[in-house]
Amino acid sequence: MFYHYFVDNMGCFPSKTKRVQETTAFVHKVEDLKILPSTFVQINQRSFLKVYKLGRSLGSGAFGEVRFCTHKKTNARRAVKIFKKDIFTNEIDKEKLVKEIEILRILDHPSIVRAYEFFEDPADFYIVMEHCRGGELFEEIMKKKQFKEEETAIIMKQIFSCLAYIHSKHIIHRDLKPENILLDDHSDFLNIKLIDFGTATKFNPGSKVKGALGTAYYIAPEVLAGSYSEKCDMWSAGVIAFVLLAGYPPFEGANDEEIIQKVKVGNYSFKGSTWNKVTEFAKDLIRHLLVPEKDRLSAIEALNHPWIRDVNINNVDNGKLQSTLQHLTNYNSTNKLRDAVNTYIVTQLTSNNDTKEAREMFRALDTNGDGKLSREELIRGYVKPGGITEEDVDRIMREVDTDLNGYIDYTEFLKAAVDQQKYASQSNLKIAFEMFDRDGSGKISALELKEMLQGENATNNELWNELIKTVDQNGDGEIDLKEFEDIILNKF
């Protein structure tokens, strides 16, 4: 079955996988256990149709289609990308799907679509993802024709943040276009989601990538030449900015061949009444994007451009800042099981509405827009306005930065900043318990913990028994629902 190919080659699910190494390599003690959002992005062995109810089609392509779906137990609304197995006629096609899933699993950014889980049956493979009600940015362009400059800057700031984030992880999107940018809600330009990593690839810093992929209007000239870097995404971003402001692309033609020839030449114009209304700041940014690769801005440089830097996406009041600070200050990640369950609930069971306020706080604190919070950003955001000390910030970093990468990543921030009452509901705790209790016995065993937390690479199997002991109040060597709830609600 393709499942075996998927497991053996992608390496992120049970038995001898990279995912295990990613989360628990060389783990000897409970305190060394790291829980990442990707820990819970797993292949579900159940039938897709037993877990989800399929809804209307949201789009289709050569691979299959994207459909709306509803999680039967939680009523969560999601989207599922369905791949027909018969399209995988060779190993290269299979490797492309593996690469897309491998990339989707590790992405953790407020403006990048979240993957939840994967399924397989004899005919199809399924990727279950976040559903965005607002549709494609392309559809908004068709309706509006032109965007106001402020709207464009708000959208572009989020795009640059996505690119800064994925480029820092050595990923190139390679097909950035309005069709691959969704709105979280109708006409909600404050919350976009970058999707479709089907042509994305990993790169080695300083090395060039080969292979011409992309869409004619948005493809960079160096991609057409067959050797390029992550800055090809920045060219595509420049084209998007041009289209949003003007209502038409910088390089036009009767067909793809004509468009590509114009892209290769690289000439475009700001002439006409439309551009007379656009500020020099906006034009200057585009000029620094639609240029040869060596002269092109990086994503971080674009975020520092005056036209983008001065855009305030989220106006947050001091009261909300203080409330979030209180949650961050109170967060305690000492108990690894509590931290793992919090991660599961925040990534798998909470809605965008549940995390809306925390998402706004994250963006407000992320002043350089790279999709993660540094110690310096926390100091700027809280030491002066909040009256806390740098030592307080260091304590927050120690507790909240659970993967110890030196930054507070998006999910790390959410599980600490979101009011626990919003996500640790009785129903969410019961669903989480049932997910950990894989055999449905009513208790979580050491083996089930190991399977759920992808712990095959932990060198000390006794670790899982030790983890249970941290919450096992009756001493039976397993975790029942009450013990599970007590540890999450800090009653134990």
User: What's the farthest any 2 CA atoms get from each other in the chain?
Assistant: 77
Catalytic residue among 8, 32, 108, 175: 175
DSSP 73: T
In 3-state terms, what secondary structure has residue 277? coil
Residue 144 assigned to a binding site: no
Contacts for 381 with CB less than 8 Å, ≥ 6 apart: 321, 364, 365, 367
Give the H/E segment covering residue 448: helix 446-452
Alpha carbon of 107 to those of 114, 115, 119, 171, 308: distances in Å?
7, 9, 19, 10, 23
Buried b (16+ CB within 10 A) or exposed e, 122-153: eebbbbbbbbbebbbbeebbeeeebbebebbb
DSSP 351: -
Phi and psi at 26, nearest 5°, equal 55, 35
In 3-state terms, what secondary structure has residue 162? helix
Task: Return the beta strands (E) in 185-243 as ranges.
Answer: 192-194, 201-202, 209-210, 227-228
Q: Parallel, antiparallel, or unpaired for β 77-84 and 181-183?
A: unpaired
175 is an active site residue: yes
Q: Tell me the two tokens of residue 263.
A: 């892209």
In 3-state terms, what secondary structure has residue 211? coil
Torsion of CA 479, 482, 487, 491, to 10 degrees: -150
Packing angle between helix 481-488 and helix 426-436, nearest 10 degrees? 120
On whether the CB atoms of residues 178 and 128 are closer than 8 A, the answer is: no
Q: Which of 118, 114, 79, 70 is nearest to 98 (CA)?
A: 118
Phi and psi at 388, nearest 5°, equal -95, 170
Would you please indicate which residues are annotated as catalytic (active-site) residues?
Answer: 175
- Residues annotated as binding site for ATP? 81
